[in-house]
Amino acid sequence: MTTGEPIVVKGVVKPIPTLYRPMESVNIATHETDRASIERSDTTAVPTAAVIAEAMVAITLAQAMLDKFDADQLVRFKAQVDQYRTELKEFRMTQQQLPSKRSHLKGMIQVPGDKSISHRAIMLGSMARGTSKVRHLLMADDVQSTMQVYRQLGVTIETSGEDTVIVSPGVAHLRAPDQPLDFGNSGTTLRLSLGVLAKQPFHIDMIGDVSLQNGLWDGF
C-alpha cells in the first residue's frame, strides 16, 4: 500500500504540481515500513522558485527518513539526495546568472491600422465638405471597397505612403454614380452607407459579391 501526499510549500506559486513525493510501502500486518523513498514527479509546469523550495523540503525530509532504510536502500536513497542537491545548486547558479536589473524598453512602435476605424474615417471624410487627411488606414479589401463606393459618388480619395487625402463636396452635394455602387464583400460598407445614400435625391443601384447578396441583401 502506498501512502503519502504531495509536498506543499506555502508562499510559493499555487496550485503547483509537486516536484518530489515522499512514498512509503507499509506492511499491513505489522504496520511497519518496508520501504521509503522520495520519487520525482513531472516538473514541466513547476516554476523555478517552486523547484528550489521543494528541493530543499525534499532534502530535509530525506534526512529525517534515513533511519527507515537498510544498507542497500540507504545507498540508493543517498544517491537520490545527492542528485537533488546537485540540481538545487544548478538552479541557484542559473538564478545568479540572470541580470538583477534590466534596462527599460525604449523606442517607438507603429501598430497596424484598424479596419473598423478605417471604414468610418473614409465615410466621415466623404461626408465633410473640403479636405480631410487620414494617416495609417488599413488597406484591407473591405476598406478599399468603401473607398471605391465613395469615389463613385464624386469623392476624390488619394493615398500616398501612410497618408490618405479625401476631398469631398460634402454629403449634400454627392453626385449620382454612373454605374451601380459595388460594395464587394463588405457588409460594413453597405450597412453604414445606407444612411448616407437614403438622403440623396437620385436613384442608386447597388451590387455586391455572391456572399454579400446571400447574406445582408435579403433584408433590403
**Contact predicate 7/19, CB 8 Å:** yes
**Cross-strand pairs, 26:** 33
pLDDT at 8 (0 to 100): 39
Q: Answer positive or negative: Cα dihedral of 10, 12, 16, 17.
A: negative
**Across residues 37-64, what is the average pLDDT?**
55
Residue 164: band (very low, low, confident or very high) from pLDDT cuts 50, 70, 90 = very high
**Contact predicate 154/181, CB 8 Å:** no
**Across residues 80-103, what is the average pLDDT?**
67
Instruction: Write out pLDDT tens, residues 182-206.
Output: 999 898 999 999 999 998 999 999 9
Question: What's this model's pTM, rounded to 2 decimal places?
Answer: 0.51
Q: How far apart are CA 2 and CA 65, in angstroms?
A: 16
Q: How far apart are CA 58 and CA 40, in angstroms?
A: 10
In terms of phi and psi (left: phi > 0; alpha: psi -120 to 50; beta: otherwise), the region of 129 is beta
pLDDT at 12 (0 to 100): 34
Mean pLDDT for all residues in the chain: 74
pLDDT at 51 (0 to 100): 56
Residue 30 has pLDDT above 70, yes or no: no
Instruction: Write out pLDDT tens, residues 94-134.
Output: 655 555 566 677 888 878 889 999 999 999 999 999 999 99
Sequence letter at residue 111: V
- Map out the domains of the chain with their CATH numbers: 2-96 (no CATH), 115-209 (3.65.10.10)
pLDDT at 27 (0 to 100): 52
pLDDT at 14 (0 to 100): 35
